[in-house]
Structure 1
Amino acid sequence: MRILMLGNSLTFAIDMPQMLAGLTGAEVVHHTRGGARLAKQLNPKTKLGAQTQTVLAREHWDYVVLQEMSHGPVSSPERFCPAWSGCVC
Structure 2
Amino acid sequence: LPASAGAVAALLVVIVLGAVVHRPLARVPENTLKFVVGVLLCAFGTFWVGEGMGDAWPGGDVAILALIPAYLVAAMFAVRGCRRAAIHGASA
Which has the larger strand fraction?
1
Q: TM-score, normalised by structure 2?
A: 0.26
Q: TM-score, normalised by structure 1?
A: 0.27
- Tell me: higher relative CO, structure 1 or 2? Use CA pairs within 8 A at least 6 residues apart: 1
Which has the larger helix fraction?
2
